[in-house]
A and B are shown apart, each in its own frame.
Chain A
Amino acid sequence: MTSHVDQPQSFLIRAFSVGRRPQVAFGLVIALFWLIVLTTVSIWAPYDPLEAVGTRLIAPSMTHLLGTDALGRDVFTRVLYGARESMPIAAAVIVCATVIGTLLGAVAGYAGGWVDAIVMRITDVVMAFPAILLAMAISAALGPGLRNGFIAILIVWWPIYARLVRGQVLSIKQREHVEAAISIGATRRRILQKHVMPMAITPVLVNATMDFGQVVLFLSSLSFLGLGALPPSPEWGSMITEGAKNFYQWWIAVGPGLAILTVVLGFNFLGDGLRDVLDPRSKGDK
C-alpha cells in the first residue's frame, strides 16, 4: 500500500519550521502561560481567591482588574486560580483516558474476535449517550465535587481513544513490516510492542493534546450545571454560573469564559503543531 519514505529531516528541523507557524507559537505561548500561572499563582497573586477583599459587585478598576463578585472576592485572582482547579483534573482525565483507551483498543484491535467485539460494543453503548447527559447522570449519582466530575468525564472519554487506537492497530497490522515480523515468527506481544504501538501512538498524542482543552471545557460545563466544582472553588464553569446569577455585572463571567477559550484554542493549535512534528506526511492545513 503506502510505502512512504521519511523525509531526511531531523526532528529539530521540523520542530523549528513548525515553530515558525504563528498558530503553533500562539498555542505554545498560551500553554506556557497557563502552566506558569498554575504553578506559581499562589506566590504572586494580589489577593486571596476565597476571601472577600473589597466591596461587593464593583466594576473593574485598577485595584480589581475584573471587578469583584457577589461576595466581594477579586474576580481576576479567581480566574487565575481557576487554572489550578481545571487543568490538573483535565490532565488526569487525559492521562487516564489515553492509558485505558490505548490498552483496551490495542488489545481489541490486535486480538480481534470476541475480545474485540466486547470492547467495541461497550464503547458503542457509552458513545451512544450524549456525553453531557451521561456525565450529568454519573456525577449526579456520585454527588457533586471535582473528584466525581473527574470520574464522570473519564467514563465518557476513554472510548474515544479505544476506538482510535483500535482503528490504528487494525490498519497497521496489515502493513508489510508487521507481516514480515509475523513471517519470521516474532511473538504477538513483541509485534504489538515493537512494531504496532509506536506507530499507533502518534495520533493518540495529537488527539490527547487537542482534547485537553475540550476536557477543560467539558468540566466547566458540568460545574456550570452545579455538578463539578462546588461553590467556593474558583472553577471557571461555576464562576460563569455566578456571572449568570449577577447577569448585569458582566465582568464576573467574562474572565472565566475567555480563560476557557484561550485554553481550548491554545491546545488545539498545539495539537496541530504536534501532528506536523510527529507525522511528517501530514501537510497541516492547506
Chain B
Amino acid sequence: MSAPTSYWGSMFRFIARRLIIMPFLLFGIVTISFVISRFIPSDPLISIVGERQLNNPVVVLAAKQRWGLDKSMFGQYTSYMSNLAKGDLGISFRTKTPVVGDLIDRLPATFELAFTAMFFGTVGGVLLGVLAASRRNKIADHVSRLFALVGSSLPVFWLGLVLLYIFYARFGLMPGPGRLPPRVDAPNDITGFYLFDAILSGDFGLVWPIIQRLLLPAFALGWGLMGIISRLVRSSMLDELQADYVRTARAKGLTERVVFCKHALRNALLPVLTVLGFSIASLLTGAVLTETIFSWNGVGSYAVSATRSLDYPAINGVCILGGIVFLISNLITDVLYAYADPKIRLA
C-alpha cells in the first residue's frame, strides 16, 4: 500500500525523466530544421534582395554577410545553434523583423483558435460518444458515427471553404473571415487572446463579434477531433459498461444517469486524455490550413507565407515552435494521465 508521499515521489521522478529527454529531442528537431533549410537548390538570396539586384555584387555580398550565408555549412550551423541558445531565431527575410517576435505576436491567435477547436472537439466528442453508447445500434448511434467518420475524413481547408460559403456568402448567418470585424481595432494587447483582452479591457461590445468569428474556424478545425473522440468514447463506454463495478454501482441504487455519467464515464475518459495530447499536434497541423482559409493571422498563416517566400529563418522558427509545443503537450498528457489513472505505474 503506497503512502501519498511515495505517490508524489514517483510522480516527480516520472516528470523528471520526461524532462531529461526533452533537450535531446529538441536538439534533434533544431538540427533537422537546419539541415532541411540548408539543403535548398533554390537560392534564398532571391527572396532577400529580389531578382533584379542579384547581379549587383555589392548588394549580394552585404546580404550574404548580414544573413551569415557566406560562412561554411558547419560555421552556419554553429552560429545558428549559438544564436538559438540565446533565444535568437534570426530575422525573417520577409518581415525583416526577428522571428521570435513574429511568433510571439502570432501565437495567441493560433492558440485561441486551437483551444476553441479543442473545446468543441472534446465536449462535442464526449457528448456524441456517450449518446452513441447509450443508444447503441439505434439511429442516434449510426448518425453520430457517420458524423464522426465524415468529420475525420474531410479536408479541413475544404470544410472551411464550404462553411464560409454556406453561412457567410449564401445566407449571411455568420461573419466572414478574419479575427475582427472590418475597420475595427484590436482590443488592448494584454494577453494577445482577443477574447480575454476584450473582457479585460472592458471592451464588452467586442466580445460577441470575436466569439462569432471564432465559431466557424474552430468548428472546421475541431470536427475531426470530435470524430476521433466520439468514436473512442463510444467504444470505451461500451467496454466500461460491461465492467463489474457498473453492476456494483447499480446495486447501490444509483440512477442510470449517475452510473453512466459518473462511474462509467470517468473510466471511459482515460483514453481521451492520450488523444488530447496527440490532438494538439494535429490541431496545429489543421491550424495551418484553417488559418489560410479564414485569414487568421496566426502562426499557421505565418508558416504558409514563410514557405511561399522561402523565408528560412521563419520556417525554422515555426518548425522549432511546433516541436516544442508538441513536446510540452506530450508531457502534459503523460502527467494528466498519470494523475487521472491511479492504477498507472509511473515507470
Contacts and interface: CB of A to CB of B under 8 A. Distances in A.
B155 A225 contact: no
B43 to A, nearest CB: 11
B6 interface: no
Contacts of A265: 149-150, 153
Given A133-B284, A240-B157, A244-B161, A225 B25 contact: no
B319 A137 contact: yes
A257 B322 CA distance: 27
A247 B165 contact: yes
A129 interface: yes
A261 B307 contact: no
Contacts of B285: 130-133
Nearest to B149: A265
A130 B32 contact: no
Contact of A226 (B41, B159, B308, B326): B308
A247 B169 contact: yes
A128 B25 contact: yes
A178 B16 CA distance: 36
Contacts of B281: 130-131
Nearest to B153: A264
A137 B37 contact: yes
B289 interface: yes
B39 interface: yes
B28 interface: yes
A115 to B, nearest CB: 17
B153 A221 contact: no
A4 interface: no
B85 interface: no
Nearest to B321: A133
B235 interface: yes
B289 to A, nearest CB: 6
Contact of B307 (A125, A140, A250, A268): A140
B155 A260 contact: yes
Interface string A216-247: 01001100111100000000010010011001
B216 interface: no
Interface centre among B24, B169, B285, B319 (most CB of A within 10 A): B285
A121 B154 CA distance: 32
A124 B307 CA distance: 24
Given A121-B28, A125-B25, A136 B315 contact: yes
A285 B315 CA distance: 42
A141 B37 contact: yes
A143 B155 contact: no
A286 B235 contact: yes
Nearest to A133: B322
B307 A143 contact: no
Nearest to B283: A130
Interface centre among A124, A130, A131, A132 (most CB of B within 10 A): A130
A168 to B, nearest CB: 19
A126 B29 CA distance: 7
Interface centre among A128, A129, A250 (most CB of B within 10 A): A128
B216 to A, nearest CB: 14
Contact of B41 (A142, A244, A268): A142
B295 to A, nearest CB: 11
Contact of B323 (A128, A244, A261): A128
A138 B36 contact: yes
A11 interface: no
Contact of A225 (B162, B284, B307): B307
A101 to B, nearest CB: 18
A141 B159 CA distance: 28
B11 interface: no
A224 B157 contact: yes
Given A125-B25, A142-B41, A250 B165 contact: yes
A226 B304 CA distance: 9
A82 interface: no
A256 interface: yes
A121 B25 CA distance: 8
A44 interface: no
Contacts of A240: 155, 157-158, 161
Given A129-B322, A261-B150, A265-B153, A137 B315 contact: yes
Interface string B147-186: 0011001110111011011000100000000000000000
A59 interface: no
Contacts of B292: 224-225
A243 B153 CA distance: 19
A264 B151 CA distance: 11
Contact of A136 (B235, B307, B323): B307
Interface of B: 24-25, 28-29, 32-33, 36-37, 39-42, 136, 149-150, 153-155, 157-159, 161-162, 164-165, 169, 235, 238, 281-282, 284-285, 288-289, 292-293, 303-304, 307-308, 310, 315-316, 318-319, 322-323, 325-327
Given A133-B285, A133-B322, 10 more contacts: A125-B25, A129-B323, A129-B326, A130-B281, A134-B32, A136-B315, A142-B41, A221-B155, A247-B164, A256-B158
